[in-house]
């Protein structure tokens, strides 16, 4: 019985690095999605920016209003940020990734949008994102963004 307990402890300890590595790998992949979104935004490419979101009618954006569906969220971004000047330069900061099991994660952080006054001026705020692991990689399924 003692050998069984010892063996079980060894197996559990051996599995810890595997789970930790999987969480780090997921966090790295999620951060890469956000970096790709930032780069796409700064090129003025809303369509590419949206590749970070799950293309689903259930994908949700919460800001001044609630938008459901990838197509509606894309239309909102195109309406609110019509053109490169209105998009300005985006920077994410203070990112925190918290895994919620193997297939979901919550990301919190800050955004800063630098643009000319004529294009809407500076914007900044906080956000929380729920990511889900899909066949195509990590995708945002819920975005709650608040401007300050």
pTM: 0.84
Which pair of structure tokens corresponds to residue 38?
A: 């930032």
**Beta-carbon count within 10 A of 147 CB:** 12
Residue 3 pLDDT exceeds 70: no
Q: What is the pLDDT, as a whole number, of residue 22?
A: 53
What is the rounded distance in angstroms from the CA atom of residue 148 to the CA atom of residue 145?
10
pLDDT per position as a tens digit, 18-59: 444 455 799 999 999 999 999 999 999 999 999 999 999 999
Query: Is 50:70 a contact under the CB 8 Å cutoff?
Result: yes
CA 62 vs CA 5, 33, 85: distances in Å: 49, 20, 24
Which pair of structure tokens corresponds to residue 104?
A: 């979901």
pLDDT per position as a tens digit, 54-97: 999 999 999 999 999 999 999 999 999 999 999 999 999 999 99
pLDDT per position as a tens digit, 97-134: 999 999 999 999 999 999 999 999 999 999 999 999 99
Label residue 4 by pLDDT band (50, 70, 90): low
3-36: string of b/e by CB count within 10 Å (b at 16+)?
A: eeeeeeeeeeeeeeeeeeeeeeebbeebeebbee
Q: What is the pLDDT, as a whole number, of residue 148?
A: 87
For residue 38, which phi and psi values (nearest 5 degrees)?
Answer: -60, -45
Give me the residue spans of the domains in the chain: 2-147
User: Which CATH architecture group holds 2-147?
Assistant: Roll (3.10)
* Strand bridging mode 123-134 / 137-147: antiparallel
Query: Is 40:141 a contact under the CB 8 Å cutoff?
Result: no
Q: What is the pLDDT, as a whole number, of residue 14?
A: 52
For residue 73, which phi and psi values (nearest 5 degrees)?
Answer: -65, -45
CA-wise closest residue to 91 among 115, 107, 117, 70: 115
What is the rounded distance in angstroms from the CA atom of residue 140 to the CA atom of residue 61?
10
């Amino acid at each position: 019985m003692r050998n069984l307990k010892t063996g079980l402890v060894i197996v559990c300890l051996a599995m810890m690095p595997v789970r930790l590595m999987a969480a780090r790998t997921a966090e790295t992949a999620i951060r890469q999605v956000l970096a790709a979104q930032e780069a796409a935004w700064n090129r003025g490419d809303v369509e590419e920016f949206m590749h970070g979101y799950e293309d689903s009618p259930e994908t949700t954006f919460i800001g001044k209003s609630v938008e459901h569906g990838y197509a509606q969220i894309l239309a909102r971004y195109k309406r609110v940020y019509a053109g490169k000047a209105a998009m300005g330069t985006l920077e994410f900061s203070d990112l925190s990734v918290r895994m919620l099991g193997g297939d979901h994660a919550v990301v919190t952080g800050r955004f800063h949008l630098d643009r000319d006054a004529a294009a809407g001026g500076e914007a900044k705020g906080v956000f929380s994102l729920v990511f889900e692991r899909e066949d195509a990689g990590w995708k945002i399924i819920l975005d709650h963004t608040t401007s300050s």
